[in-house]
């Protein structure tokens, strides 16, 4: 558990952070968000003492961070930043090994750990170990940055806009993978962003800051449904129902019993069959999505092979880590009423449709009405 | 593939060969004096017939290569034909000396004339253009080595030892190599101490913004002090120190000689070294430093493992500049009584014997070029593969 108590940072006569108090329970993601200059990054940097507080204190698992040497403290806190800051003269493996080396792990253990971490963030160790940062794309560099932050298995992870410097498509994918990794590792995370959608998607608790003060500290649902004041209301924006879809994972609401077959003929038969949906997905022998068959075209006399709509899977589907918001955006973009869901290897897992979106919107708003504030203590 | 006529002309090589041609045909090729300091009579390239005309033919061939050979193969052609011209030039000088000295008194001298020097510069430009157009480093080195061997042979066989410069060398051969060594010692000591002092100062300038202004300001001002003045300024305090402390005197400290020379060369080396260190560090990605600190690297470890390796290419560039600079300035340390190749340069000036001056000046240029090439190679070798341009 991370506790900030009356944390204050003063620069000359300006208060960058003003008596901020909040608690992040173990295994939860706390997102600090607010307009630029609100003190969110300063707050984060005080936790690992890159900035020394002017007043107040920080406890991690009950221990005052000021009682440790700063460097020892930092080695126990994973740290990932927007500019990534990979060391350009070192290989990817050497970069990831930074903190384990500082902690004097033995070579064999470091090497094994580096490979695990690269695999965890979705980079094939054999392909990337010996690469240099300049050979990586922006998204790959961000993944290496996260792998480096996680390398020494710190219980706490501090992230300062870690997905800020990549294109929106890559950002969405990295967010999905971060959510997956977090479900697996259950770190206590403090995450700074200025992107409301990112906050809503990833946070267990959102801390909205303004002028160095905490305005609201709540679950994303509560922030959406019960903004503490006009500032939060305006900051979150009017498209709250849409934003709420960013909380729902496709994996949780998708239909898995979708009609699919491995040959155009079989798919056409499925599509036209008794009680059929009017379409069926075409997959290859390994289950990877290739396209779909429309029963109407088959009935109109098109040969089965030509009735297949073959698609670029990356565009005409969503990943299993995606949110319903992304799925909806994709459906609207293509004019589909449903969109297939695939895993990282493009294997068809199911589909989500507009009905799932409707259900989620209703259920989401009803649930958030009923849900209690997480802790009055924490949001003080 | 059709190319527009003349679209592939190499302007640099064309300029170089034109310069060589005009210089060799319009300026005196060699100068004849009845004694070492006698009045000169000037002779054109005809004095070197027939090798002189072979040289002109080779230069014309350079022009043809620069205009006619397509860019893809031009580099090797330029270097090769330029090399032939260079060898012919060395040979022609020996031939001219043999012709003019035949039957003359033994104290007569033949010196290289302005036309030969301009021709040499022109050919050097052609060789430079050829090297630029030849991507293979190995091919460049092979051609250069072949030219060097052929040139040495042409100088020996052609009779170049009769040139006045060679006669000056022969007269001072016992002193020459020790003074070369002495010159290198002075410059090396200056650069060595300059690095020992300059790198920490550069780090200091980077770490502390208040120190930065003082450090960069002071080393900048030092650079503006003329070397003779600096030597003069050092003599009095060093002499006083020697008198005050017999211990230091025992270590060889004195107001003239090695002590002021090495101090002056150290001070001149400071600016490039300090600036190379400072700029190298200032160019390091702030994100890498932030990440290193945030992950718990100590300032020392961060400096040694991240900042210095990233600053190294610019630091080595600074050391290279300091070395070339100190090899040049070490010539002046003759006036501090420290010896070096300046001995020949300034004795030659004093005796109005230009070839003696050349005996000192030419090796300084050669040493500076060699040091430059070696340190460039060192810089390239010191760079991590992660920082090199090519994608592996």
Q: CA–CA separation, B39 vs B299, rounded Å?
A: 68
Share of chain A above pLDDT 90, in %: 52
What pLDDT does residue A373 have? 44
What pLDDT does residue A49 have? 95
Q: Mean pLDDT across the stretch B112-141?
A: 92
Sign of the Cα torsion B22, B27, B30, B36 reads: negative
Question: Where would I find the beta strands (DSSP E) of chain A?
Answer: 2-11, 14-24, 29-33, 55-60, 63-64, 77-81, 156-160, 188-193, 205-210, 213-218, 260-261, 279-283, 289-294, 308-310, 318-319, 338-342, 348-353
Q: Mean pLDDT across the stretch A26-30?
A: 95
Written as six digits, the tokens of B193 are 């101490």
What pLDDT does residue B190 have? 96
Residues of chain A neighbouring B284 (CB-CB closer than 8 A): none
Q: CA–CA separation, B149 vs B34, rounded Å?
A: 33
Query: How close is the nearest chain A Cα to the Cα of B154, in Å?
Result: 48
What pLDDT does residue B129 have? 92
pLDDT bracket for residue A238 (50, 70, 90): confident
Between 3.20.20.70, 3.40.50.2300, 3.10.580.10, 3.40.50.150, what CATH number should domain A252-361 receive? 3.10.580.10
Residues of chain A neighbouring B293 (CB-CB closer than 8 A): 50, 74
A348-353 and B30-33 strand pairing: unpaired
- Contact predicate B331/B256, CB 8 Å: no
Q: Mean pLDDT across the stretch B232-251?
A: 83
Dmax over Cα atoms in chain B, in whole Å?
84
Helix pair B137-158, B71-101: axis angle to 10 deg: 10
Residues of chain B neighbouring A88 (CB-CB closer than 8 A): 285, 288, 310, 384, 386-387
Phi and psi, residue A20, nearest 5° = -90, 130
Peptide bond into B167 cis (omega under 30): no
Instruction: Note whether B306 contacts A87, CB cutoff 8 Å.
Output: yes
Select the residue of B289, B291, B309 nearest A89 (Cβ to Cβ): B309
pLDDT score of A123 more than 60 = yes
DSSP A88-120: TTS-HHHHHTHHHHHTT--HHHHHHHHHHHHHH
Q: Is B121 left (phi over 0), alpha (psi -120 to 50) or beta?
A: alpha
Q: Is A142 left (phi over 0), alpha (psi -120 to 50) or beta?
A: alpha
The mean-pLDDT minimum among A90-99, A112-121, A256-265 falls in A256-265
What pLDDT does residue B7 have? 60
Query: How close is the nearest chain A Cα to the Cα of B212, in Å?
Result: 23
Do the domains A2-248 and A252-361 sit in the same CATH topology, yes or no?
no
Select the residue of B286, B291, B306 nearest A79 (Cβ to Cβ): B291
Q: CA–CA separation, A320 vs A218, rounded Å?
A: 27
pLDDT score of B266 more than 70 = yes
Mean pLDDT for chain A overall: 88
Instruction: Note whether A148 contacts B295, CB cutoff 8 Å.
Output: yes
Instruction: Note whether B296 contacts A148, CB cutoff 8 Å.
Output: no
Q: Mean pLDDT across the stretch B93-111?
A: 89
Count A/B contacts: CB-CB distance under 8 Å. Answer: 84
What pLDDT does residue B389 have? 60
pLDDT score of A8 more than 60 = yes
Mean pLDDT for chain B overall: 90
Query: How close is the nearest chain A Cα to the Cα of B392, in Å?
Result: 8
pLDDT bracket for residue A380 (50, 70, 90): very low
For the segment B46-81, what is each residue's pLDDT rounded down to a tens digit? 898 899 999 999 999 999 999 998 888 899 999 999
pLDDT bracket for residue B120 (50, 70, 90): very high
* Residue A314, strand partner residues: none
For the segment B1-40, what is each residue's pLDDT rounded down to a tens digit? 445 555 678 899 999 999 999 999 999 999 999 888 788 8
Select the residue of B289, B295, B386 nearest A88 (Cβ to Cβ): B386
Select the residue of A48, A50, A81 nearest B287 (Cβ to Cβ): A81
Instruction: Note whether A79 contacts B294, CB cutoff 8 Å.
Output: yes
Instruction: Report the topology of domain A2-248.
Output: Rossmann fold (3.40.50)
Q: CA–CA separation, B259 vs B240, rounded Å?
A: 13
Question: What residues does each domain of chain A span?
Answer: 2-248, 252-361
Q: Mean pLDDT across the stretch A258-283?
A: 81
What pLDDT does residue A376 have? 42
For the segment A134-190, what is each residue's pLDDT rounded down to a tens digit? 999 999 999 999 999 999 999 999 999 999 888 888 888 899 999 999 999 999 999
Interface of A with B in 113-132 (CB under 8 A): 131-132
Q: CA–CA separation, B75 vs B66, rounded Å?
A: 9
Written as six digits, the tokens of B375 are 């340190």
Q: CA–CA separation, A248 vs A99, rounded Å?
A: 35
Radius of gyration over alpha carbons of chain B, in Å?
26
Residues of chain B neighbouring A145 (CB-CB closer than 8 A): 291
Interface of B with A in 287-306 (CB under 8 A): 287-298, 301, 306
Instruction: Note whether A88 contacts B385, CB cutoff 8 Å.
Output: no
Instruction: Note whether A48 contacts B294, CB cutoff 8 Å.
Output: yes
What pLDDT does residue B390 have? 45
Instruction: Give this complex's ipTM.
Output: 0.79
pLDDT score of B140 more than 50 = yes
pLDDT bracket for residue A366 (50, 70, 90): low
For the segment B285-337, what is each residue's pLDDT rounded down to a tens digit? 999 999 999 999 999 999 999 999 999 999 999 999 999 999 999 999 998 88
Q: CA–CA separation, A18 vs A16, rounded Å?
A: 7
What pLDDT does residue A364 have? 58
Residue of A42, A74, A88 to mutate when probing chain B, most B C-beta within 10 A? A88
Instruction: Note whether B295 contacts A73, CB cutoff 8 Å.
Output: no
Instruction: Between B40 and B254, name the one with better pLDDT.
Output: B40
Candidates A117, A122, A124, A73; CA nearest to A96 is A117
For the segment A152-162, what is each residue's pLDDT rounded down to a tens digit? 999 999 999 99
Instruction: Note whether B287 contacts A148, CB cutoff 8 Å.
Output: no
Select the residue of A85, A102, A149 nearest B290 (Cβ to Cβ): A85
Residues of chain B neighbouring A84 (CB-CB closer than 8 A): 287, 291
> In chain B, which segments carry CATH 1.10.3720.10?
170-387
Q: Mean pLDDT across the stretch A235-240?
A: 82
Instruction: Note whether A73 contacts B293, CB cutoff 8 Å.
Output: no
pTM assigned to the model: 0.80
| C-alpha count within 13 angstroms, C-beta hemisphere, residue A220 | 25
What pLDDT does residue A43 have? 95
Written as six digits, the tokens of A32 are 């600090």
Residues of chain A neighbouring B301 (CB-CB closer than 8 A): 102
Residues of chain A neighbouring B286 (CB-CB closer than 8 A): 83
Written as six digits, the tokens of B76 are 């090797």
Q: CA–CA separation, B229 vs A103, rounded Å?
A: 55
Helix pair B258-282, B227-244: axis angle to 10 deg: 120
What pLDDT does residue A372 have? 43
Q: CA–CA separation, B363 vs B100, rounded Å?
A: 27
A142: Cβ–Cβ under 8 A, 6 or more apart, which residues? A84, A162, A163, A165, A166, A170, A174
Dmax over Cα atoms in chain A, in whole Å?
79
Between 3.40.830.10, 1.10.3720.10, 1.10.10.10, 3.40.640.10, what CATH number should domain B170-387 receive? 1.10.3720.10
């Amino acid at each position: 558990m991370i506790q900030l108590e009356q944390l204050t940072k003063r620069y000359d006569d300006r208060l960058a952070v003003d008596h901020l108090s909040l608690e992040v329970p173990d295994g939860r993601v706390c997102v600090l968000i607010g307009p630029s200059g609100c003190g969110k990054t300063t707050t984060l940097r005080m936790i690992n003492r890159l900035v020394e507080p002017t007043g107040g204190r920080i406890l991690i698992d009950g221990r005052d961070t000021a009682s440790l040497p700063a460097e020892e403290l930092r080695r126990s806190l994973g740290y990932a930043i927007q500019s990534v800051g990979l060391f350009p003269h070192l290989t990817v493996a050497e970069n990831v090994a930074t903190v384990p080396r500082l902690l004097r792990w033995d070579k064999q253990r470091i090497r094994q750990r580096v490979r695990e971490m690269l695999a965890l963030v979705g980079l094939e160790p054999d392909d990337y170990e010996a690469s240099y940062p300049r050979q990586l794309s922006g998204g790959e560099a961000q993944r290496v940055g996260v792998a480096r932050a996680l390398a020494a298995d710190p219980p706490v992870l501090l992230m300062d806009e870690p997905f800020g410097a990549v294109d929106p498509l890559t950002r969405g994918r990295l967010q999905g993978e971060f959510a997956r990794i977090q479900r697996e590792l259950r770190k206590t995370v403090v995450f700074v962003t200025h992107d409301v959608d990112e906050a809503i998607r990833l946070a267990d608790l959102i801390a909205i800051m303004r002028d160095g003060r905490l305005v609201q500290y709540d679950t994303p649902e509560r922030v959406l449904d019960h903004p503490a004041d006009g500032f939060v209301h305006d900051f979150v924006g009017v498209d709250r129902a849409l934003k709420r879809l960013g909380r729902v994972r496709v994996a949780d609401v998708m239909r898995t019993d979708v009609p699919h077959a491995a040959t155009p003929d079989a798919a056409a038969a499925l599509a036209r069959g008794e009680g059929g949906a009017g379409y069926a997905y075409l997959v290859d022998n390994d289950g990877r999505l290739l396209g779909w068959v429309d029963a109407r075209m088959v009935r109109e006399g098109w040969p089965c092979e030509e009735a297949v709509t073959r698609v670029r899977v990356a565009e005409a589907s969503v990943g299993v880590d995606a949110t319903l918001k992304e799925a909806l955006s994709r459906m609207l973009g293509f004019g589909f009423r449903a969109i297939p869901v695939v895993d990282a290897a493009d294997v068809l897992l199911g589909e989500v449709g507009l009905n799932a979106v409707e259900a989620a919107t209703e259920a989401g708003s009803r649930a958030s009405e009923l849900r209690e504030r997480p802790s009055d203590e924490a949001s003080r | 593939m059709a190319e527009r006529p003349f679209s592939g002309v190499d302007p640099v090589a064309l300029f170089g060969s034109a310069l060589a041609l005009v210089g060799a045909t319009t300026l005196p090729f060699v100068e004849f004096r009845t004694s070492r300091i006698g009045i000169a009579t000037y002779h054109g390239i005809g004095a070197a017939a027939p090798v002189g005309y072979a040289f002109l033919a080779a230069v014309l061939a350079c022009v043809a290569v620069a205009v006619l050979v397509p860019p893809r193969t031009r580099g090797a052609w330029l270097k090769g034909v330029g090399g032939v011209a260079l060898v012919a030039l060395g040979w022609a000088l020996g031939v001219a000396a043999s012709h003019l000295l035949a039957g003359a008194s033994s104290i007569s001298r033949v010196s290289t004339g302005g036309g030969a020097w301009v021709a040499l510069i022109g050919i050097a430009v052609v060789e430079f253009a050829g090297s630029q157009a030849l991507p293979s480093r190995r091919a460049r080195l092979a051609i250069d080595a072949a030219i060097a061997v052929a040139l040495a042979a042409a100088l020996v066989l052609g009779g170049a030892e009769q040139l006045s410069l060679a006669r000056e060398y022969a007269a001072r051969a016992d002193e020459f190599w020790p003074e070369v060594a002495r010159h290198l010692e002075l410059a090396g000591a200056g650069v060595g101490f300059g690095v020992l002092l300059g790198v920490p100062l550069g780090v200091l300038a980077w770490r502390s913004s208040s120190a930065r202004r003082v450090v960069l300001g002071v080393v900048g001002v030092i650079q503006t002090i003329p070397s003779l003045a600096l030597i003069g300024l050092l003599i009095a305090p060093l002499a006083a120190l020697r008198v005050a402390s017999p211990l230091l005197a025992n270590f060889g400290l004195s107001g003239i000689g090695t002590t002021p020379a090495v101090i002056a060369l150290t001070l001149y080396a400071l600016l490039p070294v300090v600036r190379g260190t400072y700029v190298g560090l200032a160019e390091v990605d702030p994100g890498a430093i932030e990440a290193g600190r945030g992950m718990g690297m100590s300032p020392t470890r961060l400096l040694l493992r991240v900042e210095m390796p990233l600053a190294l290419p610019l630091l080595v560039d600074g050391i290279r500049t300091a070395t070339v600079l100190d090899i040049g300035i070490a010539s002046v340390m003759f006036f501090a009584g420290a010896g070096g190749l300046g001995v020949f340069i300034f004795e030659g000036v004093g005796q109005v014997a230009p070839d003696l001056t050349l005996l000192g000046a030419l090796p300084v240029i050669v040493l500076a070029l060699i040091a430059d090439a070696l340190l460039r190679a060192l810089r390239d070798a010191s760079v991590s593969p992660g920082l090199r341009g090519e994608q592996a």
